Amino acid sequence: MADNIHKEKRLSYLLRHDTHYAFDAHGWRAVSDLIANHGFSHKELISIVANSNKQRFEFSEDGQNIRARQGHSIAVDVELDESIPPEYLYHGTVATNVPSIMEKGLVPMSRQHVHLSFDETTAVKVGSRRKGVVVILKVAAHKMWEDGHHFWQARNGIWLTEAVPPKYLEIITHP
């Protein structure tokens, strides 16, 4: 099990952050490259894609390429259609980040987009990956959209936006 988690994390890095690979404009990477140069077998790649609890990855229709659905620090267009968000979305973080977030808003940091969750439960899981007391932020997503902000929903349900200004944030869980 630990080896599977390690391989999924390695694949995630290779598909989202590897600046040494020449991705196409849509973030596709050749399956053959991962097999020949990074120690994956075709069977392992199929298993990782099928069993990723976050559904992070997808194969091209012909099965020759693979990509991450979101979370890139490299500039790619994963071909998402703009979507109208629900009234609220959520973001999980830790208490030490809250003062800065409430001052500057949510920004993508090294990634292309801010990631938001449809529900509080998922946001708690995201926030729990970091050390510290988990805090959930409620984002007035539909109001943001009405005010001209753009949203996209990845195929695995994650919502993406360019940034969330502080005026759209509310702390709903705090230590």
CATH number, domain with residue 60: 1.10.10.970
pLDDT of 68 > 70? The answer is: yes
> Has residue 148 been placed in a domain?
yes
Long-range Cβ contact pairs of 59-62 (< 8 A, separation 24 or more):
59/31, 60/28
Same domain, 28 and 101: no
The pair of structure tokens assigned to 23 is 């991705």
pLDDT of residue 2: 56
Which residues touch 51 (CB under 8 Å, ≥6 apart)? 4
> Has residue 77 been placed in a domain?
no
Mean pLDDT confidence for 86-109? 94
What's the pTM value of the predicted model, to 2 decimals? 0.71
pLDDT of 174 > 60? The answer is: no
Same domain, 159 and 117: yes
- pLDDT category, 72, cuts 50, 70, 90? confident
**Nearest C-alpha neighbor of 67 from the set 156, 1, 129:** 156
Rounded-to-integer distance, Cα 2 and Cα 29, Å: 25
Quote the domain boundaries for residue 119. Answer: 89-173
Mean pLDDT confidence for 84-111? 93
pLDDT of 90 > 80? The answer is: yes
Domain count for the chain = 2
Same domain, 120 and 160: yes
pLDDT of 35 > 60? The answer is: yes
> Has residue 78 been placed in a domain?
no
Percent of the chain whose pLDDT exceeds 70: 97
Judge contact between 142 and 100, C-beta under 8 A. Answer: no
Give the max Cα distance, the chain. 49
> Has residue 74 been placed in a domain?
no
127-160 in b/e form (b: 16+ CB < 10 A) is beeeeeebbbbbbbbbebbeeebebbbbeeebbb
Write down the mean pLDDT value for the chain: 90
> Has residue 83 been placed in a domain?
no
Rounded-to-integer distance, Cα 18 and Cα 66, Å: 14
pLDDT of residue 162: 93
